[in-house]
Amino acid sequence: MGRILENNHQINIQKMEKFSLYDLLGLLLPGVLFVYFCNVLNSIFGVVQFTIATNGLDVNTFIILCFALIAGAMLYAVNFSLIKRTWYKRLFGMKKPIDELYLKLDISYQEMNQILNKKAQEWYKKPIFFSNEELKKRNAELTAEEKKLQDDYYVRMYYELEYLDKIDTAKTLQSFYYFFRQIVTACLLLLGLYLLLTIYHLISGTVIPADQNKLLVWLPVLLVLTTILSAGHAQWYRKSMVLKMFWAYFTHLNQPLNK
């Protein structure tokens, strides 16, 4: 009984560690960066008479971490709302459909399609995965129904592999993917705040401190560059995540055949 409880305790610790990576990259770190740059904006425009101390570790540090977690949760929610918008998806390309990514993967489609379509036959009574050569022979692109079924197939295989605990590498890539997605959202919000505060100070005639003039110029440049780089990294990590997912499921489906 003691050994069983010990094993369960180890499993729970492992699950917490996995969640901690997701939580760190998807929530906390984006929130920390957002709060930090909000502090930079405050130091430039002097919105409130408060700045975050950059030296020492005290109670204020933990309070700031709490605000960072709140900000990270906000970014997470806002990002999932934006990523559904057509204009946002087209502008940043961070959530390309599975059918587009699948055809761009550097894999052996002949064997992969054969195995994946066996499961597709079981689920949907028809094959849904094709190589570029097969599509050319059909003289047609994927139908809207086939594209939708590929998305559904991906979701089903994701949760099946997660249930079987065979998704570690893909989930690590997913954590980095979410991190860069949240960074894009954070930068856009910060650019919006920067623009509003700049307009307000131009209208009100408030003078920006001389030592902040360089930062006033370089901050938007930094945010725009970070947005572009983060969007590119998010695209790469999503493609890598999808590739790992298909290979993991392909290997999983092949296991009974290899016994």
Structure-token pair, residue 59: 């109670």
3-class secondary structure for the chain? Answer: CHHHHHHHHHHHHHHHHHHHHHHHHHHHHHHHHHHHHHHHHHHHHCCCCCCCCCCCCCHHHHHHHHHHHHHHHHHHHHHHHHCCCHHHHHHHCCCCCHHHHHHHCCCCHHHHHHHHHHHHHHHHCCCCCCCHHHHHHHCCCCCHHHHHHHHHHHHHHHHHHHHCCCCHHHHHHHHHHHHHHHHHHHHHHHHHHHHHHHHHHHHHCCCCCHHHHHHHHHHHHHHHHHHHHHHHHHHHHHHHHHHHHHHHHHHHHHHHHHC
pLDDT in tens, 109-127: 888 999 999 999 999 999 9
Per-residue pLDDT, 28: 87
Per-residue pLDDT, 13: 39
Note whether 238 and 147 are within 8 A (CB).
no
List of the chain residues with pLDDT < 50? 1-19, 258-259
Share of the chain above pLDDT 70, in %: 85
pLDDT in tens, 35-91: 999 988 888 887 776 655 555 556 567 778 888 889 999 999 999 999 999 999 999
φ, ψ for residue 50, nearest 5 deg: -160, 135
Average pLDDT over the chain reads 84
Map out the domains of the chain as residue ranges.
2-98+162-258
Distance (Å, whole) CA 189 – CA 53: 23
Distance (Å, whole) CA 71 – CA 30: 8
User: Cβ contacts of residue 39 below 8 Å, gap of 6+?
Assistant: 51, 52
